[in-house]
Amino acid sequence: MKKGFLVILLVLFGCTEETEKLPTQGPIVEKIATNLNIPWSIDLHDNTFYISERVGTIARIQDGTVGHEPVQLSDKLAVISEAGLLGFVLKPDFDKTGEAFAYYTYDVNGEPFNKVVTIKREDGQWHEIALHLDGIKTGNIHHGGRLEIGPEGLLYVTIGDAGNPSNAQDPTSLNGKILRMKEDGSFEIFSMRHRNPQGLAWDADGTLYEAEHGQTANDEINLVEQGKNYGYPIIEGDETEDGLESPIITSGSNETWAPSGITFHKGKLYVATLRGESVKVMNVDTGEVEQSITGFGRVRDVFSDGESLYFITNNTDGRGTPKEDDDVLYRLE
């Protein structure tokens, strides 16, 4: 076997830490940082990565060096499955304020809830300084938790059905919904009847797409419009019904992806998948999955800076098989 071909195979399947400029026969992957602690959400400012970790820290990555900065929160993080410090996004004025939005699951007398807050970075640690939304009921699973700032500058929040499908149908419940929120905490239900939405991304035209976990497969990529009803649990996968929106892409009834973070990169939608253990490259115009980038285990989030695509593994979350240096932030050329 020729050496060049062997190196490509090693890089594709995460078996080497060396970065080489390889021929264009496959993606070039570089390890940016290792030994992350159940990372969840990626953001980037001024060549420094900030990644939320479910244990209650923000991994700050600068020039390959990782610092796990503690986050002082007003409530103790819940220790149930899938819970902890989840969604995280830097505010547009982060360089001046040091502030970010965060979403976390906490425990009150043995009962779990979610909240949306502002946290501020000072002296190498973070403090909760403002509460925007509190008392979001949740269960042992399906917390949702993705935070993204939309093209109009407002905060979008995904909330899972808390493991109870009837919540998604209930207009008085925040569970199974996507919210659009202002800085003062006022919000509107942007869309409803979702199961466990964990990915949000806008294309170049400002169209919103969402990824959510299906039930017994039937994972979904949806084109989301305000006020629309996305059907769960009445319809799933390829099913249709008047007044309900069907996904533009689905895993189908025989395959499970468990999609999490999503992002657009050079016109294609990149989707992090947990159960699917891959980054899937999708064409939202044709509805096709064009490529699956595998060999890294569970993938929680993806991020594009316009030039390169970054992703984080989630092999230390109790459901994966961690390698010696997991979890890892990778760069994909």
Q: What is the pLDDT of residues 146-190, one digit of tens each?
A: 999 999 999 999 999 999 999 999 999 999 999 999 988 899 999
pLDDT at 26: 60
Strand, coil or helix: 146: coil
Residue 183 CB neighbours (<10 A): 13
pLDDT at 50: 98
Cis before 233 (ω within 30): yes
pLDDT greater than 80 at residue 291: yes
Could you tell me the two tokens for 285? 């115009």
Question: Which DSSP helix (H) or strand (E) runs through 3?
Answer: helix 3-12
Residue 63 CB neighbours (<10 A): 8
pLDDT at 28: 86
Band (84; pLDDT cuts 50, 70, 90): very high
Q: Average pLDDT for residues 200-216, to the nearest whole number?
A: 96
What DSSP state is assigned to residue 74? S
pLDDT at 9: 37
pLDDT at 281: 98
pLDDT tens per residue across span 11-39: 334 443 333 333 334 678 999 999 999 99
Could you tell me the two tokens for 220? 């979904």
Does the domain formed by 28-332 have CATH 3.30.70.260? no
Pairing of strands 65-72, 125-137: parallel
**Mean pLDDT, all residues of the chain:** 92
Distance CA 10, CA 31 (A): 13
**Taking the complete model, does pTM exceed 0.85, yes or no?**
yes
Question: Which DSSP helix (H) or strand (E) runs through 5?
Answer: helix 3-12
Question: Which DSSP helix (H) or strand (E) runs through 97?
Answer: helix 94-97
Distance CA 98, CA 119 (A): 8
**End-to-end alpha-carbon separation of the chain, Å?**
24
Q: Average pLDDT for residues 254-270, to the nearest whole number?
A: 97
pLDDT at 333: 79
pLDDT at 7: 38
pLDDT tens per residue across span 293-319: 999 999 999 999 999 999 999 999 999
Could you tell me the two tokens for 225? 């419009």
